[in-house]
Amino acid sequence: MAQLYFYYGAMNAGKSTTLLQASFNYRERGMKTMLWTAAVDDRAGAGRIGSRIGLEAEAHVFSPATDLFEAVAANPPDCVLVDEAQFLSAGQVDQLAAVVDRLHVPVLAYGLRTDFQGRLFPGSERLLAVGDKLVELKAVCFCGRKATMNLRVDSSGRAVREGAQTEIGGNDRYVAVCRRHFSEAFAG
């Protein structure tokens, strides 16, 4: 039975790596996958999913105007995999739920749960609300505890407390930390 999965975690939890491994597993068994990533995040190149350990794959890109149900229904694969799922709109998450419910195609979405201020992204909020399976992927804080928060930092490594919810960046702009170190840095 097809289901809507949401694999979430802080930065450096291995979300893109896990997505690429899942796609490989499907393809190795002769099944077709359809990969998606957010147009706003082109760190690996436009239309590419890239992991920090060097794995990469081509992907379709979604923007706020993309109708994901329509795009998938045009040529249904055996599995849909979505990277950077936090950038989905609530309506796009509902479209993915329709892919599962009406087309009987499993959807595996991977993304951040919260932004640099500890607030839910709209796409993540909806995935948490309607997802069939919610799976936390673990990252590690510098103290060794589980990292659950994404701390935005400036070029000097100081916490950034204000700004737009979306600012694309990697290790140069974000540090995965535990709640305690997030609170201390954000209050400091």
Whole-angstrom distance, CA of residue 128 vs CA of residue 180: 23
For position 74, what pLDDT does the model report? 97
- pLDDT for 85-117, tens place per residue? 999 999 999 999 999 999 999 999 999 999 888
pLDDT over 80 at 48, yes or no: no
Listing DSSP states for 115-130 in one string gives -TTSPBPHHHHHHHHH
**Confidence at 18, pLDDT banded by 50, 70, 90:** very high
> pTM for the full model?
0.89
Does the pLDDT at position 21 exceed 60?
Answer: yes
The phi and psi torsions of 67 (rounded to 5 degrees) equal -95, 100
108: CATH: 3.40.50.300
Are residue 27 and residue 120 in the same domain, yes or no? yes
136 catalytic per annotation = no
Asked if residue 161 and residue 96 are part of one domain, the reply reads: no
Q: Which of 58, 84, 125, 136 is catalytic?
A: 84
Which CATH number goes with the domain that contains 168? 3.30.60
Residue 26 shares a structural domain with residue 52: yes
| Pair 72, 131 in one domain | yes
Q: Same domain, yes or no, for 150 and 126?
A: no
